[in-house]
Structure 1
Amino acid sequence: MSTAAATAVPGILSAEFVQETLALTRRLFIQLQRRPSTLVAGVVQPLIWLVLFGALFQNVPQGLFGESTNYGQFLCAGIIVFTAFSGALNAGLPVMFDREFGFLNRLLVAPLASRFSIVLASALFITTLSLIQVGAIASLGVLLGTGLPNLAGIGVVLATVLILVFGVTALSLGLTFALPGHIELLAVIFVINLPLLFASTALVPLSFMPRWLQWIASLNPLSLAIEPIRYVYLHPDWRLSDVVMVAPWGSLSLGAALLILLAVALGMSLLIQPLLRRRLA
């Protein structure tokens, strides 16, 4: 079979799949264009957190938060990760509303090359929004004196955010098809969101926490994303073998943190595959 013929066959590697994925993604951006308050709120809220929390702790003694010269520098990594996490956790809401309003049923009976394009479109949309938010937070951070990592460090920041968004988006989409409606999905989001924030190293280092919370925070995926980003912000000459977190169970290097985070993201993705196949069949 020729290459042209192969790409014409409907399926996940076909030109039709790419076209319908882009069309569904464009539909989400059109919805965003009609309701820009969603994007504005998603960008402004983390900036407010960064300004207010940074001002709240600006007079703490230097060195109290590790090697950071000010609390804003310490906080920036936590705000970046938590914002990306919150956005990805909401990834299932557009699909849930499509499901409740009947649009998803119309898609399921349409001659799509692959129904996976519905899931991929949501993932692309959320990833783009997360990168916009990260760019806004990093830009404000520069104005507040947090600085920027070097070029390789920026690559680590982007890679960490993308891995986290990939895994949490998979979790959100799985919840979308497992739960009966958007009320239940919002309830789960509210229950997960803030506890994971406060049980991570986003706001304070591990040394500030009681022993039992240190165990939870060191195993929290948010901490596994925060610590590599925080480290590359503070160390221009970083290496993958450098220790970024000293947990109760042992030391964790930058490379190991990223590998564990990637394994968690892939695990979430594989976990929801049977559910997605069943619901999109």
Structure 2
Amino acid sequence: MSQSLSTDLSQTNSLADFTQETLALTKRLFIQLQRRPSTLIAGVVQPFIWLILFGALFANAPSGTFGNDANYARFLAPGIIVFTAFSGALNAGLPVMFDREFGFLNRLLVAPLASRYSIVAASTIYIVVLSFIQTAVIVLASAAVGAGLPNVAGLGAIALIVLLIVLGVTALSLGLAFALPGHIELIAIIFVANLPLLFASTALAPLNFMTKWLQIIALANPLTYAIEPIRYLYLHQDWGLTSIVLASPWFSISFAQVIVILVMFDLFALVAIQPLLRRRFA
């Protein structure tokens, strides 16, 4: 019994140490943000400009083009929300990469940490908080330009969907930060992936506007499965887990199924980066 008690105490202490390390590393990232807030400012200003410009571009589109009772601002807002969160998560690996290049990561790895996974946890918490801040600003800005606001339950569902897409993309970005030789290669991948994934999703245009081959790509794009349920929330006050949020020529997907797909995407990302983390943290 004493051995079991000792094991429980050891696990409790390890969890407390892991939490303390994670919070300390997260605080460091926010101190860096406080000293250089341009990252957060740019992450809020850019999507707001997109809302204004694209909203003006399609302001005179024929009624019903983007669905019943939907102006383009309401149609566009979910795409901007998800793309902003995606872009921030895609950049999650950059601070880790710079820590690698400046030697700070090596100092952490030789430090007596309870778990080196606190480095990954801190980066994830930091990106999630930034994404929520950006999402809140975009939701308010889109309401100001005519997109309206979902109900309280809808806002909670939006937060869940943003969290799920951010977790998966952040994991992949951190994996790249540990796998690639330097920040030039990581930035190149970010630039190459960013806009093609935006245009190969339903962020800017409905699925039925696309050619068949682009529809297939869009249906393989995780962003589509985050955008469509949020768009449904903007267009429908009455919604539920069985509501069909994505209809394609080949299948239809409900709200609950979209959540499952996003969770599977997160699990895939976490499994994919495990060999890289083990190699780095071994």
Q: TM-score, normalised by structure 2?
A: 0.96
Partner of 2:35: 34
Partner of 2:125: 124
1:54-93 deviation per Cα after TM superposition (whole angstroms, max 9, x unaligned) = 1111111121011353101000000000000000000000
Contact 1:199/1:217 (8 A) holds in 2: yes
Tell me whether 1:188 sits opposite 2:166 in the alignment.
no
* Counterpart AA for 2:117: F
SS in 1 for 2:30: helix
More displaced 10-residue stretch of structure 1: 179-188 or 144-153: 144-153
- Structure 1: 5+ residue stretches without partners: none
Matches for 1:122-271 after TM superposition, within 5 Å = 122-271=123-272
What is the Cα deviation at residue 5 of structure 1?
2.8
Partners in 2 of 1:30 and 1:179 — Cα distance? Answer: 26
What is the Cα deviation at residue 239 of structure 1?
1.5
Q: 1:68 to 1:184 in 2, by over 3 A?
A: farther
Partners in 2 of 1:73 and 1:190 — Cα distance? Answer: 27
* Counterpart AA for 1:182: H
Partners in 1 of 2:184 and 2:69 — Cα distance? Answer: 41
Partners in 2 of 1:5 and 1:263 — Cα distance? Answer: 34
Q: 1:68 to 1:172 in 2, by over 3 A?
A: farther
- Report the count of equivalent residues: 278
Over the matched positions of the two proteins, sequence identity in percent amounts to 66
Q: 1:68 to 1:50 in 2, by over 3 A?
A: farther
What is the Cα deviation at residue 9 of structure 1?
3.6
Partner of 1:280: 281
Partner of 1:104: 105
**Poorly superposed stretches of 4+, deviation over 6 Å:** none
Matches for 1:7-86 after TM superposition, within 5 Å = 9-10=13-14, 14-86=15-87
SS in 1 for 2:49: helix
SS in 2 for 1:125: helix
Contact 2:70/2:235 (8 A) holds in 1: no
Partners in 2 of 1:243 and 1:147 — Cα distance? Answer: 21
Tell me whether 1:5 sits opposite 2:9 in the alignment.
yes
What is the Cα deviation at residue 261 of structure 1?
1.3
Q: 1:98 to 1:229 in 2, by over 3 A?
A: same
More displaced 10-residue stretch of structure 1: 62-71 or 20-29: 62-71
- Structure 2: 5+ residue stretches without partners: none
SS in 1 for 2:240: coil
Partners in 2 of 1:248 and 1:92 — Cα distance? Answer: 37
RMSD in angstroms over aligned alpha carbons?
1.3
1:100-135 deviation per Cα after TM superposition (whole angstroms, max 9, x unaligned) = 000000000000010000000000000000000000
1:171-228 deviation per Cα after TM superposition (whole angstroms, max 9, x unaligned) = 0001111110000000111111100000000000011111111111122100000000
More displaced 10-residue stretch of structure 1: 66-75 or 45-54: 66-75
* Counterpart AA for 2:170: T
Q: 1:6 to 1:69 in 2, by over 3 A?
A: same
What is the Cα deviation at residue 249 of structure 1?
2.1
Partner of 1:95: 96
Q: TM-score, normalised by structure 1?
A: 0.96
Partners in 1 of 2:10 and 2:266 — Cα distance? Answer: 31
Contact 1:46/1:79 (8 A) holds in 2: yes
SS in 1 for 2:252: strand
More displaced 10-residue stretch of structure 1: 53-62 or 22-31: 53-62
What is the Cα deviation at residue 7 of structure 1?
5.0
More displaced 10-residue stretch of structure 1: 42-51 or 242-251: 242-251
Q: 1:181 to 1:235 in 2, by over 3 A?
A: same
* Counterpart AA for 1:173: L
